[in-house]
Structure 1
Amino acid sequence: MTLPINQPEVIAQVCAAFVEYERALVANDIETMNALFWNATETVRYGIAEIQHGGDAIRQWRETCAPVPASRKLHRTIVTTFGADFATVSTEFTSDTTPLIGRQMQSWARIGDDGDWKIVAAHVSLIPEP
């Protein structure tokens, strides 16, 4: 069985969830960011200078981390969906606070009875401009 790739309605759903996460990230809306991450021991977030394993660790870290700069801008965002319940979102970002280029990758899954999209894994890194 081959999963359908990039069905327009699924891309639209994941894009909407990603936009909401990005809005919450820039606004430092911790409640929304937490709601968009799967609260499970299997969830992993590798940050720029930290590692969190599990929803509890991610929530604890969010309570003390520095807010994302308001000057954050996304570049080359790519959403790829696999079937109706799994997707990846890859993006680059810049801000006025660093000359480095940020890279962010998220794995999203439709989890639970409500059918909401949740981030199940994330990785953020900074590199010098290539």
Structure 2
Amino acid sequence: MIFNDEKTIESVTRYSDLYEQALAENDVRALDAFFWDGPEVVRYGVGENLYGSDEIAAFRRARQGGSPSRKVLRRHVTCVDQSMAVVSLEFQRDGSARIGRQMQTWILTDNGWKILAAHVSIMADKPETETPAAL
């Protein structure tokens, strides 16, 4: 296993940049192409749980106006080997003070890097150490 191979990090970072561009432009065809095309792919969004590429594609087409504009605050790429990586990203939506988080598991396929699992969330106003979690 080659952990955090520099060329792999550069490649995944480039794909992550292209994903962010497609997200900003609401290019649903490009966004679909970034995800693994099959029932195994999962995307947990801020307000939805999507299983399989068909559900993810349907969500993108149903969302009015696409993803809210956002600024990437921080990105961290960790490569498990030369064919799998995790992209952890913090962002802030325009007009909001809250911080969002996105984690994507990318795998290298014969058709380039694809997202196999994704999770998007918006942070609570206060950490659970200050305000206990609701049951």
Tell me the equivalent position of 2:124: 128
Percent identical across equivalent pairs? 40
Tell me the equivalent position of 1:105: 103
Give the aligned residue type for 1:73: K
Distance 2:2 2:44 in 1: 29
Task: Provide structure 2 residue ranges, at least 5 long, that are not aligned to the other structure.
Answer: 127-135
Tell me the equivalent position of 1:49: 47
Task: Provide structure 1 residue ranges, at least 5 long, that are not aligned to the other structure.
Answer: none
Q: Which has the larger radius of gyration?
A: 2
Distance 2:67 2:22 in 1: 10
SS of structure 2 residue aligned to 1:99: coil
- The number of residue pairs the alignment matches comes to 125
Q: Which runs of 4+ in 1 moved over 4 A?
A: none
SS of structure 1 residue aligned to 2:99: strand
Q: State the Cα RMSD in Å.
A: 1.2
Distance 1:98 1:64 in 2: 23
Distance 1:81 1:56 in 2: 27
> CA shift at 1:29, angstroms?
0.5
Give the aligned residue type for 1:29: D
Distance 1:125 1:97 in 2: 17
> CA shift at 1:97, angstroms?
3.2
Tell me the equivalent position of 2:58: 60
Tell me the equivalent position of 1:19: 17
8 Å CA contact 2:5, 2:81 repeated in 1: yes
Distance 1:89 1:129 in 2: 24
TM-score by length of 1: 0.91
Tell me the equivalent position of 1:87: 85
Distance 1:59 1:97 in 2: 27
Distance 1:123 1:26 in 2: 18
8 Å CA contact 1:69, 1:95 repeated in 2: yes
